Amino acid sequence: MSQTRSVYEFNSAIVRQPSTSVVNGLRTDDRGGPTYEGVKAEHDAYIAAMRNAGVEVTVLPALESFPDSIFVEDPALVFTGGAILLRPGTPSRVNETAEIAPTLREMFETVLELPAPGQADGGDIMYTPKGVLIGLSARTDKMGAEALVSCIEKLGGKAQVAETPKGVLHFKTASSLLDNRTVISTAALADAAVFEGFRKIVVPQGEEPAANVLRVNDVVFASAHYPRTLEMLDREGYKVVPLKTAEIEKIDAGLSCMSLRWYRNGR
């Protein structure tokens, strides 16, 4: 897994089309339901932005039986050297792993499986130059996190477990990597021990969902709905691609969870 390129340098990604059942996606609080058309439009724009950033995108078909299956990052992890099938922490999503497994086995020579009974969601896992950070949450338990550390080590990488603030769904709901030495986060997570040594940019109060950004090659995908954060990123010199997230946010989602991204050698 060791590499000279940045952890946000990608040339390959997997996404899955939203199903019409996406309107029944999981949510921790009711902010009104999304529309299928709205989610589809946001997802289409996301795919276009990914391709514009130089990424070859594989688009998987919709799964009507799994309303949240558009969020392909939760049931798996991918690296240049292999993939890991996870065990999502929500019962309705556990079988999504079996749905994506054939695609990963076709694309990767090495595919590991997180052993039962531990649970881990990809939304709690952040790639950094110092190693992979695994946030404990309601959907990633200690047993799952520790088993995942072992899986990552088998692929030649390193990982450590972190705490996620109370009331935050996923570790990456509240933090994201901006570059090799900088993270953006909410105030609640800015002082986390795992971010020691990183430069930290804190999102403005009231724009906490904006902490979920996605660095892809030379650009940063960020939600178009948080103008102060967009201005801050622009001032910091990042090339920002604003993307609409109003519909996916109604089902607890952000930009990072809609794709599996990696650098494929010899593409």
234 annotated as a binding-site residue = no
121 annotated as a binding-site residue = no
Q: Is 225 a catalytic residue?
A: no
The answer to whether 13 touches 39, Cβ cutoff 8 Å, is no
Q: Is 170 a catalytic residue?
A: yes
Helices (H), the chain: 36-52, 96-107, 142-154, 187-190, 227-235, 246-249
251 annotated as a binding-site residue = yes
64 annotated as a binding-site residue = no
93 annotated as a binding-site residue = yes
Q: Is the dihedral of CA 25, 139, 118, 172 positive or negative?
A: positive
- The DSSP code sequence of 9-23 is --SEEEEEPPPGGGG
- Sheet with 175-179, strands from edge to edge, namely 175-179, 182-185, 199-202
Residue 156 in tokens: 């030649």
The half-sphere exposure of 97 on its side-chain side, counting CA atoms within 13 A, is 27
Catalytic residue among 43, 151, 225, 257: 257
Which sequence positions are flagged as catalytic? 170, 257
Q: What residue numbers does the annotated binding site for substrate cover?
A: 26, 68, 73-74, 93, 139, 251
Q: What residue numbers does the annotated binding site cover?
A: 26, 68, 73-74, 93, 139, 251
